[in-house]
Each structure stands twice: as structure tokens, then as C-alpha cells.
């Protein structure tokens, strides 16, 4: 089972950007911990990070043809603004779990709405790195591999 982990804008700055909200781990450190967990779960993961909405959309649209069974998506700020990402997810049969490091509902009002959640199979937020690790387990269970 191959899972695509997609990270959106500014997540390349993790470890430096607002550590009181996002923690001290860099994106590379998070990816290593996700990879370790995936091995234990007998899963394969691949990672994409982009600050460009079109790259995220292309990745979602091409996931199935590249052999991915599911997507874990941290669209970051695009979660709250991108109807285009909503439409890309809606147009694919690849299940998507939305993740956020922070609890978006305990933050600014504009972060309380996500265009992604309506077309995702679920959302996990507020658990830092564990949001991704919980999503790995959830997508495996959803795909009936557990």
C-alpha cells in the first residue's frame, strides 16, 4: 500500500516558523518519523511539499495513476481558501485524509473553515506529528488493510 503525503505552503519552514504553534521539528524530521511509522505498519510513503497550489492539485490528480492508494494532505493555509483543491479531491477516487499540526479550531476564526474537509474521508488536527501518524493508521484501516 502506497500513501502520498502532501504538504502545502510554508510547511518547508517548520522548526523555524512559530514553534509555539507548529513545534520544533523540521519537515524533514517529520517525514523521517512518518517513514519509520509506515515501515512498522507495512506501508510505503512518498512525500511532496510545495508552496504552489497547482503542484498540489497536480499531485492529487495524478496520485491514482502513480499507484497511490490514499493521500494524507496538509494543505496548510490553502485548506481555508482553495476551492481548486476541493475540486481536485472531489474529482479523484483516491481517499484523502486532511491533517493539521495545530488545532485549527482554537486559532483565528478564518482557520475554522476548511474547503478540504467536505471532500475528505476525515480530518485530524491539533496533535502535531501525531496528526500524521494517526492519519497513517486511519487510512490503512479505511482501505481495509487492517
Note whether 41 and 1 are within 8 A (CB). Answer: no
Q: Hey, which residues does 95 pair with through a beta bridge?
A: none
Residue 100 grid cell: 493539521
Phi, psi of 97 (to 5 degrees): -110, 125
Catalytic residue, candidates 78, 86, 100, 115: 100
Note whether 71 and 3 are within 8 A (CB). Answer: yes
Query: Does the annotation mark 142 as catalytic?
Result: no
Q: Hey, which residues does 5 pair with through a beta bridge?
A: 47, 72
Query: Does the annotation mark 100 as catalytic?
Result: yes
CA dist 73 and 6 (Å) reads: 5
Catalytic residue, candidates 22, 78, 115, 132: 22
Q: Which residues are catalytic?
A: 22, 100
Amino acid at each position: 500500500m502506497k500513501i502520498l503525503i502532501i504538504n502545502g505552503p510554508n510547511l518547508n519552514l517548520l522548526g523555524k516558523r512559530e514553534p509555539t504553534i507548529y513545534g520544533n521539528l523540521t519537515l524533514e524530521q517529520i517525514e523521517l518519523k512518518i517513514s519509520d511509522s509506515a515501515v512498522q505498519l507495512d506501508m510505503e510513503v512518498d512525500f511532496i511539499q510545495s508552496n504552489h497550489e497547482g503542484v498540489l492539485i497536480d499531485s492529487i490528480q495524478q496520485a491514482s495513476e502513480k499507484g497511490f492508494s490514499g493521500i494524507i494532505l496538509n494543505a496548510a493555509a490553502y485548506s481555508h481558501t482553495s476551492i481548486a483543491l476541493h475540486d481536485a479531491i472531489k474529482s479523484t477516487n483516491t481517499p484523502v485524509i486532511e491533517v493539521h499540526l495545530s488545532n485549527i479550531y482554537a486559532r483565528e476564526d478564518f482557520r475554522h473553515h476548511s474547503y478540504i474537509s467536505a471532500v475528505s474521508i476525515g480530518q485530524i488536527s491539533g496533535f502535531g506529528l501525531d496528526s500524521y501518524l494517526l492519519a497513517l493508521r486511519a487510512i490503512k484501516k479505511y482501505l481495509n488493510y487492517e
